[in-house]
Structure formats: structure tokens, C-alpha cells
A = this chain, B = another copy of it.
């Protein structure tokens, strides 16, 4: 029996972010993207979420290469965590490699990692795979799709993409090559589903330029623009329009400064001579000569725009009349933090220009008509929707079906599921370990569902510690019980309640003694239940109760 091609996603299915897909054939493995995700609202204290690498660590000797489609965090952010246990060469285009390099430097992994720069059109051999880089459009420069040739057939993996006929640089996505591959025969297409719910076409990045022009032309005020730091082409357009109207540009926000440095060094951004000035020097310029480009388009607490709005930025405060342009849309869940920054800008009598009022942002992902073009060009035998929640995967499957694809040739997978492909069949067969690993500070994976459940409990009702010293000989109370609470009530205004709690604890300890209980665990449970029942009846709350017995 011939070998099968296995495709396993360890992230990016039924979730947004932490994209990672494993391709496996005949003892060889390659990875496409190693991304991170952001925590949900109820993952208290978690910094980032990364894929479960168990399967990769177990098979580390078989990994022939890591291939990256583009430099966004949800496609490259977990690389430092993977490289703790896995050493494999990383292949990426120049811009992506530049961003990965920054990351590796920060984690002191640059020396021991083989980072290879490729260009669109190149083909890389990795074990039994050969991977072709195909130019794509996206909201970051130098994005690619991959054509992965295997003995079973060719797989096209789009990565995040849109079709932009008039991009700022790099030219239009290489549709011709996709068409050629389609004519030669493609076994499977794995494609971005992010915008599959949106009809029509995503507008060209270039269309934003006209909106900027209208906002800069004739404006006498200081202009402050925020956008995604990684959107090099957007920033290029802001700089160009600023230069056109004789403004100097200052930049604030660490991620913005990093991204601009990398993209300028690599030639993806061209800043006209004399346009860029240090933020400290803008005070000496008249208002109509100033443009500040800043982070903070999502209302992030520590971002430069938020700090400017709330007067905690060291160099710049928002002033009445400033024109603040928000060139971004809200990522779901960020509406309220963006809203609070906008309110603060209004409070300072700044003029806020955001999405609702003009075409200030375009998406980096393909809408329905673009996806149809890709399906039509690639003409795959099998289709696997990628990068989306269940609603997106199902809607993408429906789109493929409407274009005539046999529904039995569409595989909606999930993370950890193993898709087995032969030249004539595709099916899910088995699973590998997959899930969400939480990073909290330096800790990777030491916070899990139990810890998060406790955090949620503590967050909602606070906690009560009951401490008592008891004699190890006769179980009599030597000292206490003392009641300590945090996050429960104002203690000073609730002294009566604290005294009642102490009395409930004393009574319950006396009951234990009367019943001659000497098992510390049983006594703790008794005290805990007594306090818990009392409190729920009295306050309708359920704080975490921690009884501590010191045997002396």
C-alpha cells in the first residue's frame, strides 16, 4: 500500500490565530506557520496562547523545515517556544525573515537557528516535499502562498491573502502560477476563510491613500495617525501623503518603531530624505508641519496613542484641535477599549476621524468573490478550509459547494485531527495531541484549566482565609480562628460581618470537637461548608474559602 499524505492543523481551525499546519509524508514532516493566539476574556492573566507542541516534539527528528507565509504574530509568534525543543531550518521571504530575526534575537535563539531567506518563485526541497513560494497580497509586505509537491500530489496552501490588483508594492498576487498549477492538477487546496462571510471584493490597499490625501490636504492642525504596526504599505502611504503636504513625520510606539526599522532596512519602506524627525523635536515645529504615526489602533492600554490621550506619554499630549485618524477596524472584543480612548480624545477636543466616517482601512483578507477566483484557478480535487471559526469554515465549504465541488471532497477538520490524502481520497483518520497552551510570564503550560477556574472564582467573589492553630495532642484550639479576606468586601465597613464569620468558624470548630473529630481534612471541610452556607444565605456570594489549620 502506498504512503499517504497527512495534514494536521495544530492551530487555526475553530479559532482565530495560532496558525500551524503539519504536512507529513513517508517519515518526513514540514510545518507551515507557527503562530500564537491571544487569550479570550476569561483567560485571566494569560499573556499569549500557543499550540500544543507534543506531537512535534515527539517527531522532532522528522521535521525537515518550517515554512512561513508571512510575518504576522498569528503566523510566526510561537516560533521561540517551538525552538526550545525543536531545531529545524526556517524558510521565509525577506520581510518575514526580518521580523522572525527580531524575535529570535529577543529570545537569544538567533545563533542556533538556521533562518533561510527565499523569494517568490523559489522552490525548496525538504525531505520528500518540495515547497514553492508564490507571491500573494496581504496586509503585510512579502506574503506568500505555497505549492507543496508531494508524491501523492500537489497541495496549495494560501496562507492569509487577498487579491490586490493595485498594491503599494510587490505587484499583484501571482494568479497565473495558481492557474498553471490548477491546469497541471492540484490534489488539495487549503485556503484562508477569515472574510468568507463578506460578499464582493476586498478593496485595494491603494484606495486608502485617497482618504489620507483628503484628510491632509489643507489641514492646518497637527495630524496623528494610528494603524497596525505591521502594515508597511499603509505606513508608507501615510508618510508619502505627509511628505506631499510638507509635514515631518515622527513615530511613537515600540512595535511601530521596530516594524519601520526592519522594513526600511530591507527596502520595503522608502522614507523620503528629511521627512522623519525625532519625537522630541516636533515641539519646535508648527502644527501644520507635524504628522505623528503611532501604535494604539486597538486601544491597547500601554500603547502610545492611549498614553497620549490620557496624558501619560512622556513626549506628546493630545491637544485641542489635533486631528486623530484611526486607520484600522476594531478586532472583535476591542470595541470598548478603543471606545474609551476615543472618548478621551473627544474630551481633549481633538477631532477624531475613524472608520465610520470614511474609507480609512481595508482588510487584508479575501472576500467571497476573491475566494471564488482562487477556487476556480486552483481547481483542487479536495478542499480544506483554513483559518477560521466554525462559521467561517462551514461558510467556505458552502462557497466551494456552490462552485460545483462535491461535498464529500470538502473536509472540515479541527485542530489535532489527521487528514489522510491519497491521489483519490481524503478522510479524517485519528488524532494527535492538540490544544491551547497558556503562556503567563515565563511560565509555559504551568497554568491550565484548574488554575484558570480558580482565577475566575477569585475574580468574581474574592476569597476568605480562615486560620487556626490547634493542638496536635487533643485537637483543642490554641489560637484563632482568624479571618482574612481579599476581594470580598470593604473590611472596614463590614466589621460586623467579619465578626459573624469568626463566630460561625468558632461554632463549627466546637461542633467538630464535640463530635471528637481529629481528622484535619474533615475539620477543614466542616469549617468551609459552614462559612460557605452562611455567606451565601447572607450575601448571595460565593467567595473562595481556604481553611488553614496549623498543628502546634
Instruction: Write the residues of chain A forming the contact surface with B, with a CB cutoff of 8 angstroms.
Output: 14, 40-41, 44-45, 197-198, 332-333, 335-336, 339, 342-344, 346-347, 349, 352, 356, 389-391, 393-395, 440-443, 446-448, 450-452, 454-463, 465, 467-469, 478-480, 482, 484, 486-490, 493-494, 538-541, 544, 546, 548, 550-552
Contacts and interface: CB of A to CB of B under 8 A. Distances in A.
Contacts of A390: 343-344, 346-347
A461 B396 CA distance: 40
B490 A448 contact: yes
B479 A546 contact: no
CB-CB nearest 9 A-B residue pairs: A441-B540, A459-B459, A458-B458, A45-B460, A454-B487, A455-B487, A332-B335, A44-B459, A343-B390
B14 A343 contact: yes
A548 B465 contact: yes
Contacts of A479: 469, 550-552
B394 A467 contact: no
Given A346-B390, A352-B391, A479-B469, A45 B461 contact: yes
Given A356-B197, A469-B479, A455 B462 contact: yes
Contacts of A347: 390, 394
Given A447-B489, A458-B458, A442 B548 contact: no
Contacts of A493: 446
B333 A335 contact: yes
Contacts of A461: 45
Contacts of A551: 479
Given A335-B332, A459-B456, A486-B546, A494 B342 contact: no
A465 to B, nearest CB: 6
Contacts of A490: 446-448, 450-451
Given A332-B336, A442-B538, A455-B458, 17 more contacts: A45-B459, A333-B335, A333-B336, A346-B395, A440-B541, A441-B540, A447-B489, A447-B490, A450-B490, A451-B489, A455-B462, A463-B486, A465-B548, A468-B550, A469-B550, A469-B552, A478-B552
Nearest to A543: B45
Contacts of A441: 539-541
6 contacts: A197-B356, A347-B394, A446-B493, A451-B489, A465-B465, A467-B467
B482 A548 contact: yes
Nearest to A494: B446
A451 B487 contact: yes
A196 to B, nearest CB: 12
Contact of A546 (B447, B465, B488): B465
A131 B332 CA distance: 43
Nearest to A336: B333
Nearest to A46: B460
A448 to B, nearest CB: 6
Contacts of A541: 45, 440-443
Nearest to A348: B390
A389 to B, nearest CB: 5
Contact of A480 (B197, B393, B455, B550): B550
A6 to B, nearest CB: 24
B389 A339 contact: yes
A540 B45 CA distance: 12
Contacts of A463: 458, 463, 486
Contacts of A44: 459-460, 487
Given A443-B541, A446-B494, A391 B467 contact: no
Contacts of A349: 394
Contacts of A451: 462, 487-490
Contacts of A462: 45, 451, 454-455, 458
A332 B548 CA distance: 43
Q: Which of A14, A343, A352 gathers the greatest number of chain B CB atoms within 10 Å?
A: A343
A391 B346 contact: yes
A38 to B, nearest CB: 11
A546 B484 contact: yes
A486 B451 CA distance: 7
B484 A539 contact: no
Contacts of A343: 14, 389-391
A349 B494 CA distance: 52
Contacts of A332: 335-336, 339
